Amino acid sequence: MKKIINNHLIMSGFYKAVSGLAMFFSIRLLINYLGSENYGIWVLVFTLFQLVLLMDFGVQSSLKTKIPVFVHKKDWVGLNSFIGSIYKLSFAIAIAVFIFFIFFIKVFDIKSAFNILELSFHEVNFLLLLNLLFFCLTFIANIHKSLYVAFHKGKFAEQSIALNQLFFLVALIFLLEIFQSPITGYQKLVCISFINGGVSLLVNLYFTFAVFKKEKLRISLLKNSTVTNYSDVFQLGLKFMIIQIGFLFVFSSDSYIISYVFNPTEIVPYEVVSKLFQLPYLVLFAALTPFWSLFAKHYLEKNQSKLLNDFNKFNKFFSLVVLGLIVMTFITPVIIPLWIKDTVKIPRYLILLTAVVTGLKIFVNYYILFLSGIGKLNFYLTVLAISILIKIPLSYFFVDLGFGINSVLLSSLVIVGLWALIIPFKCYQITKAIKNNE
């Protein structure tokens, strides 16, 4: 039991499973509490400000690649200086993003763009600004997750996410039980925003203090950082930001496409099925995330045999993933009525398409972790750029063919299917060339 508890790969998957289960219960309560229209609005708001967590020029992700290098060199002064640079940059970026979105919300009519009928123009703007404030604060407190992964203690990053989801679920239950008086849909959305933002901020702050104490980090936000630090951060970080935003665009723009082409209500069946299949994806991705810094370590050591052995083990393990997804495909029509109280009409083939896309995402993400860990990102950036360019036109092509909301999944299937062919090939190519570079 002690070995299991100390195994960060196993425990990362376990905590992600806990957060996934808590999320399932939360979704059911949210749909019942808000109704389909307002829940669709909440999904749009939440997805939009997930972008805020990625608008960091990739500086937080660079921690997972750069910290193993400092540790390998035993450069503790450089390590603390680098982390201090990340925090100062994150503060500056959070302020800049907040100001930018204020102007964006004032200029761009989001209410009309996404067919939001139940809220007024001013209510939509206030809801967006409220969530923007919370997300910008959480953006800074969220750095601890990258620190834990960088120090090969990824289970604590997933533990923070699990506690966040559990506390949100408890707070949501408390809200439904205590405040029984009827309120408007807008007031409900404001309450959910306060609960979600407040819980997330407090949990992330606690784990930030914990990682500083655990790793004995000593940084000063008042001390000047060297230009080299900032140069390194931006060179690598900008690539990570493009990757993060691009990946989110390819797979999270679906809700906006559905809302624009149809209406927010149509988001619900897509969201219900995608969230159900998100559980195995998130569990496995959490379990695999520590490989980011492990790949960096093995690559620095030029340990080709270890890298190839890890690749082969994952390829064999993936056959079990496929088997699990097949089982999920058959039982999902039974789970959804038990999970969601209200009847949700699921379009034909939506479940099958979601299962296939999920499987391919799991497969390709493992190899993306390798490219991220060793900092070889130019190839993936090129692939991602092409994917971004074709995502929306491809989705509308399938819409015109009459595939309805399945169109967004079909476009994702084409894109991630191509990724699954070319990205692993590139990873093997890089790894097999290691000996030639020695």
pLDDT, tens digit, 9 for 90 and up, residues 3-14:
666 666 677 777
Q: Report which of residues 396 and 292 the model is more confident about.
A: 396
Confidence of residue 56 (pLDDT cuts 50, 70, 90): low
Q: Which one of 29-38, 181-190, 382-391 scores highest in mean pLDDT?
A: 382-391
CA-to-CA dists, residue 178 to 166, 175, 181, 200, 393, angstroms = 18, 5, 9, 21, 47
Mean pLDDT to the nearest integer, 341-368: 86
The answer to whether 82 touches 223, Cβ cutoff 8 Å, is no
Q: Which of 206-215, 233-242, 342-351 has the lowest mean pLDDT?
A: 233-242
| DSSP E strand stretches across 116-246 | none
The answer to whether 70 touches 82, Cβ cutoff 8 Å, is yes
What string of DSSP letters covers 288-302?
Answer: HTTHHHHHHHHHHTT
pLDDT in tens, 379-428: 888 898 899 899 889 988 998 888 888 888 899 999 999 999 999 999 99
Instruction: Round to whole Å and give the CA distance between 98 and 284.
Output: 33
> In the prediction, which pLDDT does 227 show?
43
What is the domain count for the chain? Answer: 1
Q: CB count, 10 Å around CB of 291?
A: 20
Instruction: Round to whole Å and give the CA distance between 376 and 427.
Output: 9
Q: Is residue 23 one of the residues assigned to a domain?
A: yes
Q: Is residue 300 one of the residues assigned to a domain?
A: yes
Q: Is residue 123 one of the residues assigned to a domain?
A: yes
> In the prediction, which pLDDT does 436 show?
47
What string of DSSP letters covers 20-66?
Answer: HHHHHHHHHHHHHHHHHHHHHHHHHHHHHHHTGGG-STTHHHHHHHH
Domain span including residue 236: 2-433
**Following CA atoms 397, 398, 404, 405 in sequence, which dihedral angle do they give, to the nearest 10 degrees?**
-100
User: Token pair 């896309």 is at which residue?
Assistant: 357
Helix axes 121-141, 76-107, angle to 10 degrees: 180
The answer to whether 307 touches 298, Cβ cutoff 8 Å, is yes
Output b/e per residue, 346-382; b: 16+ Cβ within 10 A: bbeebbebbbbbbbbbbbbbbbbbbbbbbbebeebbe
CA-to-CA dists, residue 239 to 60, 205, 369, 389, angstroms = 12, 27, 14, 17
Q: Is residue 438 one of the residues assigned to a domain?
A: no
Task: For residue 332, give the nearest of 267, 279, 411, 293 by alpha carbon.
Answer: 279
Mean pLDDT to the nearest integer, 195-200: 91
> In the prediction, which pLDDT does 8 show?
61
The answer to whether 115 touches 260, Cβ cutoff 8 Å, is yes
Q: CB count, 10 Å around CB of 226?
A: 12
Q: Is residue 263 one of the residues assigned to a domain?
A: yes
pLDDT in tens, 149-167: 778 777 788 888 889 989 9
pLDDT at 30 over 80: yes
Q: Is residue 66 one of the residues assigned to a domain?
A: yes
Instruction: Round to whole Å and give the CA distance between 366 and 276.
Output: 21
